[in-house]
Amino acid sequence: MKQQKVILADQCADIGWSLTEVLAQKHDKRLWSLNGSPAGLPEEVVGQMFARGGASALLLMKAAALETLAARNLFGDRVDAINRYLEAQMTILVEHTAEIVDTVRNISPDALERNVNELTKSSILASFFPRVKATFMLELFGHLGRDKLADILMAFSAAPYDYRAGWPDLIVIESGTMSLVEVKTSDKLLDSQLRFAIGIASPMGFACEVVRLKATKGIDI
């Protein structure tokens, strides 16, 4: 008996995420555009749809935990703690998870702002996260608060690489509410994205949605 194909709409329904399909111009395997705007990556194109979007919860958690990440850095190097991926640091420093999470839970707004500014000045981080701005990260911190951010980091620490791979592409704050947006051009969520939905998004009460870009007929080249 032929196994029924799993499709994006069914996956979204199963995990309680809304699905919006947007017609866009597909220029090649990676570049898309919307309403005549400049071509870009799918997440950049979808990001244009939202007035207040960007940031990175992973970078925000790193900024809040930076003092302990730097103090426990294997090389004694604060710059390495700034530039190294959070999932790598949480794996290397697994024995210090409680201390790292406690640092986030007790971070002061002033210390958080200093650390955020320090991270956003890193050229290495900027090359990986070009859309991240200090102002939006601080706005995200104000929305989540220390305890929620610490709870997210604790959940993340259970499987750092899995959750990093499945983390949605965009964080959007509109009218005082936050949502996570996964951008798709295919018709299926990855296993890592489903694990994120079950292991972090649902327990944390995050509002999540999927925006799928569909090529306008006659435009593909």
- Judge whether 1 lies within some domain: no
End-to-end alpha-carbon separation of the chain, Å? 38
| Single-letter amino acid code for the residue at 191 | D
Tally the domains of the chain: 1
Query: What is the distance between the alpha carbons of residues 28 and 155, in angstroms, rounded to a whole number?
Result: 37
Report pLDDT digits (tens) over 132-158. Answer: 889 999 999 999 999 999 999 999 999
- Judge whether 100 lies within some domain: yes
**Does the pTM exceed 0.85?**
yes
Determine contact, residues 26/215, Cβ cutoff 8 Å: yes
Tokens for 40? Answer: 């870009």
- Judge whether 2 lies within some domain: no
Q: How confident is the model at residue 219 (pLDDT cuts 50, 70, 90)?
A: very low
CA-based diameter of the chain, in Å? 62
- Judge whether 202 lies within some domain: yes
Res 3: pLDDT? 60
Its domain, for residue 135, covers: 8-215
- Judge whether 3 lies within some domain: no
- Judge whether 221 lies within some domain: no
- Judge whether 174 lies within some domain: yes
Nearest to 19 by CA among 9, 31, 30: 9
Nearest to 181 by CA among 213, 203, 153: 213
Q: What percent of the chain has pLDDT over 70?
A: 95
Report pLDDT digits (tens) over 171-199. Answer: 999 888 999 999 999 999 999 999 999 99
- Judge whether 104 lies within some domain: yes
